[in-house]
Amino acid sequence: MRIKLVITYDGTAYCGWQRQKNGVSVQEIVEKAVEEVCGSRATVTGSGRTDSGVHAAAQVAHFDAECSIPPERIYLALNTRLPDDVKVVSSEKADDGFHARFSAKKKTYAYDFYFSDVILPLKDRYSLKLDVRPDFSLMRAAADVFCGEHDFAAFCGTGSSVKDTVRTVYSVDIDERQGGFTVKVTGNGFLYNMVRVMAGTILAAGYGEISPEDISSALESGKRSRYFKTLPAKGLTLLKVEYN
Amino acid sequence: MRIKLVITYDGTAYCGWQRQKNGVSVQEIVEKAVEEVCGSRATVTGSGRTDSGVHAAAQVAHFDAECSIPPERIYLALNTRLPDDVKVVSSEKADDGFHARFSAKKKTYAYDFYFSDVILPLKDRYSLKLDVRPDFSLMRAAADVFCGEHDFAAFCGTGSSVKDTVRTVYSVDIDERQGGFTVKVTGNGFLYNMVRVMAGTILAAGYGEISPEDISSALESGKRSRYFKTLPAKGLTLLKVEYN
């Protein structure tokens, strides 16, 4: 039987979702719990990698197993085996054709910022400190350029082996709030580091270091500018994965 | 010269503000930084204890030292010596008569709750999980009873050696938000564990376990009911300390 899980985690202590030789991954932590609960080893396939240190409010994954526990109660059994920084929010029976990665239609990530000249311990675990407030209209103009289908070759981290770098970004919202803001990106998929580079680029635009035209050019040429910084992992959270 | 500091910390790793024989306190961490920056040992006096695991957005403290660094820049020097979970937000010269504890007029604490049947790692560090949503009008009715000058003997933890248990609570606000709420309490001072017992009592009222009259009776008699639970430390944050 195929089981779909929705998983939330604080990524601080992990090398990311995917199994790695160095470091503990969220995937192996969940697989270990599945083995204990269902009595047999199973690969738990996520909707995609999240990088080392990136958080998830709702990562989606699936695995195949015969389990004596009813599907919709498996998450409770898993949670008794999981550490406090990795928990399963829900579990359900999925169609055999469901695949957490290949069936995913949309993903939404949020990158969070706060304004302060001092590291604020109560915010710093899930948010990036900015000494200077950027210009919001400049950021929004830059964000708009990313929307649509583009070749994002200039906006992914080095070390990515993906050949097709065309992705569709459905929306990039800049949500302002007291003392900070969030860049929320929804797309049909994201390249390695892509959201962190996009957020870094939008921030650079907010400081007037680059223009919307620079972003357009990079989307066309595939050439990365030195202003397209990859922001640290901790500000990034996978908010949701949507399926048909 | 007397220096006033505003300090923020994530209390998770500490045994509270005050020096203890067992465990590392925020006070000793700050005193060590002051010694390194100013070149002499000084006692850093806080506005009051915060319990083990309690957080602070703005604890206030003072110390006396002759320091070559201008008072308003001392916080920057301290921060280079402090760990990422304890930071000083500001520093300034204070009058010799200023005392972080005895000059304090008002303190505000917030106790935070979230609703979920599963521990949510991205919320659980600073908030308490509730499986069942309490009734907000019942909680507000209970909260109102605490306002004013009362003998809070029934609402402090055992182990307190304070003789005068009369305190004035200026306001108790229940701030609702998506997926949770915050109990915000302002008073002229608080007994040991008092805010955590008050928050636990308000919660019990929200579940219909006790009535506003039960709270009134306890304020009059000084007798603690078994429904006046002390909630865990992690949901509590010292928000601000006010002076004249």
**pLDDT tens digit string along A8-48?**
999 999 999 999 988 999 999 999 999 999 999 999 999 99
User: Which of the four pLDDT bands, split at 50, 70 and 90, describes residue B239?
Assistant: very high
To the nearest whole Å, the CA of A83 is away from the closest chain B CA by 9
Q: Which helix (H) or strand (E) holds B187?
A: strand B180-187
Contact A121, B9 (CB under 8 A): yes
Residue in chain A lying closest to B77 (CA) = A118
B119·A237 Cβ contact <8 A: no
Task: Please state the separation of Cα B178 from the chain's center in Å.
Answer: 24
Q: Which helix (H) or strand (E) holds B150?
A: strand B148-151
Contact A104, A47 (CB under 8 A): yes
Asked if residue B167 has pLDDT above 70, the reply is yes
Please give the share of chain A, as a percent, with pLDDT higher than 70. Answer: 99
What pLDDT, on a 0 to 100 scale, did the predictor assign at position A30?
Answer: 98
A10·B121 Cβ contact <8 A: yes
In whole angstroms, give the CA distance from residue A162 to residue A183: 25
Judge whether A12 is closer than 8 Å to chain B, CB to CB.
no
Residue in A75, A84, A118 nearest the CB of B121: A84
Judge whether B168 is closer than 8 Å to chain A, CB to CB.
no
Q: Tally the C-alpha atoms within 13 A of residue B213's C-alpha that lie toward its C-beta.
A: 0
User: What mean pLDDT value characterizes chain A?
Assistant: 95
Q: What is the DSSP letter of B223?
A: P
In whole angstroms, give the CA distance from residue A75 to residue A87: 8
Residue in B8, B118, B122 nearest the CB of A122: B8
To the nearest whole Å, the CA of A41 is away from the closest chain B CA by 24
Mean pLDDT score, B175-195: 96
Mean pLDDT score, B210-220: 95
Judge whether A121 is closer than 8 Å to chain B, CB to CB.
yes
**pLDDT tens digit string along B79-115?**
999 999 999 999 999 999 999 999 999 999 999 999 9
Mean pLDDT score, A168-196: 96
A118·B88 Cβ contact <8 A: yes
What pLDDT, on a 0 to 100 scale, did the predictor assign at position A160?
Answer: 66
Residue in chain A lying closest to B236 (CA) = A122
Contact B171, B244 (CB under 8 A): no
The residues of A carrying an active-site annotation are 51
Phi-psi region of A222 (alpha: psi -120 to 50; beta: other; left: phi over 0): left
Residue in B57, B79, B118 nearest the CB of A122: B57
Residues 6+ apart with CB under 8 A from A86: A7, A8, A9, A10, A14, A26, A29, A30, B121
In whole angstroms, give the CA distance from residue B33 to residue B53: 21
**pLDDT tens digit string along A117-128?**
999 999 999 999
Distance of CA A144 to CAs A44, A137, A174, A212, B3, Å? 36, 11, 10, 8, 48
What pLDDT, on a 0 to 100 scale, did the predictor assign at position B8?
Answer: 98
Mean pLDDT score, B22-46: 96
**Domains in chain A: ranges and CATH:** 2-93 (3.30.70.580), 106-242 (3.30.70.660)
ipTM confidence: 0.92
Return the residue in A119, A175, A239 with the most chain B beta carbons within 10 A, the one to mutate for interface testing.
Answer: A119
CB atoms within 10 A of CB A73: 11
CB atoms within 10 A of CB A63: 24
Judge whether A122 is closer than 8 Å to chain B, CB to CB.
yes
Strands A106-115, A180-187: pairing kind: antiparallel
B121·A9 Cβ contact <8 A: yes
Residue in chain A lying closest to B123 (CA) = A10
Q: Read out DSSP for chain A?
A: -EEEEEEEE-GGGSS-SS--SSS--HHHHHHHHHHHHHSS----EESS---TT-EEEEEEEEEE---SS-GGGHHHHHHHHS-TTEEEEEEEEE-TT--TTTT--EEEEEEEEEE-SS--TTTTTSSEEESSPPPHHHHHHHHHHH-EEEE-GGGS-TT---S--EEEEEEEEEEEETTEEEEEEEES---TTHHHHHHHHHHHHHTTSS-HHHHHHHHHH-PPPTT-----GGGEEEEEEE--
What pLDDT, on a 0 to 100 scale, did the predictor assign at position B160?
Answer: 67
Contact A8, A89 (CB under 8 A): yes
Burial (CB count <10 Å: 0-12, 13-18, 19+), residue B110: buried
Q: Which of A51, A61, A71 is nearest to A157 (CA)?
A: A51
Query: What's the pTM?
Result: 0.93
Chain B neighbors of A87, CB-CB under 8 A: 118-121
Q: Which of A103, A98, A78 is nearest to A26 (CA)?
A: A78
Residue in B55, B118, B122 nearest the CB of A122: B55
Please give the share of chain B, as a percent, with pLDDT higher than 70. Answer: 99
**pLDDT tens digit string along A184-241?**
999 999 999 999 999 999 999 999 999 999 999 999 998 888 778 899 999 999 999 9
Asked if residue A164 has pLDDT above 70, the reply is yes
In whole angstroms, give the CA distance from residue A57 to residue A107: 12
The C-alpha R_g of chain A, in whole angstroms, comes to 19
